[in-house]
Amino acid sequence: MTRVEQGATFAVWVTASLAVVFLLTPLVVTIAVSFGSSPVFTLPPPDWSLKCCARLPATKGLAPSLVTSIEIASLSTLIALVLGTLCAIALVRGGSQDRRRFRRFSSPR
């Protein structure tokens, strides 16, 4: 592997790591705040509590919203699975012209 390829690989890993941190930070902050005893958003929480978790089952409209979210997630997963499988089959079984078109993107053997 050349120095340029090593640098590019390093840059991809750094970019991917920063993207993961950027996307997961709000989730971590929300979870940390949910265990706080204050009814107002404060970081760090003044005291730790499970009040939010105790009120969760009594929340009106939670069950239908949860069911709707699971239905949408299942449907989108199914669609992605079918389309991804069809695309993979098309790439593998494609004609020789298709293979030549995608050969320049594959790694040298």
Instruction: State pLDDT tens for residues 5-29.
Output: 999 999 999 999 999 999 999 999 8
Going by C-beta distance under 8 Å and a sequence separation of 6 or more, which residues neighbour residue 34?
52, 53
3-state secondary structure the chain: CCHHHHHHHHHHHHHHHHHHHHHHHHHHHHHHHHCECCCCCCCCCCCECCHHHHHHHHCCCHHHHHHHHHHHHHHHHHHHHHHHHHHHHHHHHCCHHHHHHHHCCCCCC
- The pLDDT of residue 95 is 60
* Higher per-residue confidence, 79 vs 60: 79
- The pLDDT of residue 14 is 97
Query: In the chain, where are the structural domains located?
Result: 1-58, 60-109
- How far is Cα 86 from Cα 80, in angstroms, rounded to an integer? 10
Instruction: State pLDDT tens for residues 35-51.
Output: 877 777 777 777 887 87
* Whether the predicted pLDDT of 92 surpasses 70: yes
Instruction: State pLDDT tens for residues 52-78.
Output: 777 778 888 888 999 999 999 999 999
* Higher per-residue confidence, 23 vs 31: 23
Going by C-beta distance under 8 Å and a sequence separation of 6 or more, which residues neighbour residue 36?
42, 45, 46, 47, 48, 49
- How far is Cα 72 from Cα 78, in angstroms, rounded to an integer? 10
- The pLDDT of residue 100 is 61
